[in-house]
Chains A and B, each alone.
Chain A
Amino acid sequence: DIVLTQSPGTLALSPGEGATLSCRASQRVSTDYLAWYQQKRGQAPRLLVYGPAYRATGVPDRFTGSGSGTDFTLTISRLEPEDYAVYYCQQYGNKPWTFGQGTKVEPK
């Protein structure tokens, strides 16, 4: 199974700051099929970006996905108050599909 390791575990930021979240795979992700999800407390995960640089419908352009092979990044250019959440990466190119353990973005 592909193990996804996310870093950092927690990111403390103020609104307006930029955020860089990392997802590293234990082996190459087939066809760069890597997605990022946002989950707020008490809510279901929400697809943000996939493939790894396509934004899902309705996702603001301050969210940008990048990377290939084993190293992927989610960048939030200017943090808005509604962006405080846990972010998960997922690879969907190799069965079983696997998720990272999450990065929590919290207020500074």
Chain B
Amino acid sequence: EVQLAESGGGLVEPGGSLRLSCTASGFDFKTYGMNWVRHTPGKGLECVSSITSRSSNIFYGASVRGRFTISRDNDKNSLYLQMNSLRADDTGIYYCARSFNWDSPFDNWGQGTLVTVSS
């Protein structure tokens, strides 16, 4: 069974940093693209960042470009999102989601981790 488990969310002050992790199991992680999608009160569902199986291609949404960094460790079956210079409008639930390749739908999602940016 495919499982994706996010961790690392929490409460952080504006300007602060958080590192999200997503641990994968039940499939050959190194052959799939991975994505971070967030659900925020202001914008609904938004694809924040994506990375191909071997990290050769990376995408960032305009709202996070320059502040967030996606990475993966295929040996540890893990996906990461380093979030810096956090703002109040980054508040939301962050999901990791799997995709077969660069232009594929997101066929499995984790349960999400809540990020709250507030003073």
Contacts and interface: CB of A to CB of B under 8 A. Distances in A.
A97 B109 contact: no
Contact of A88 (B45, B97, B103): B45
A92 B105 contact: yes
Contacts of B61: 96
A46 B103 contact: no
A92 B110 contact: no
B111 A102 contact: no
Interface residues of A, number: 23
B9 to A, nearest CB: 14
B105 A44 contact: no
Contacts of A88: 44-45
Interface in B71-119: 95, 97, 99, 103-112
B13 to A, nearest CB: 27
Contacts of A37: 106
Contacts of A96: 47, 59, 61-62
Contacts of A92: 99, 103-106
Contacts of A31: 103
Contact of B59 (A90, A95, A98, A102): A95
Interface of A: 31, 33, 35, 37, 43-47, 50-51, 56, 88, 90, 92-93, 95-99, 101-102
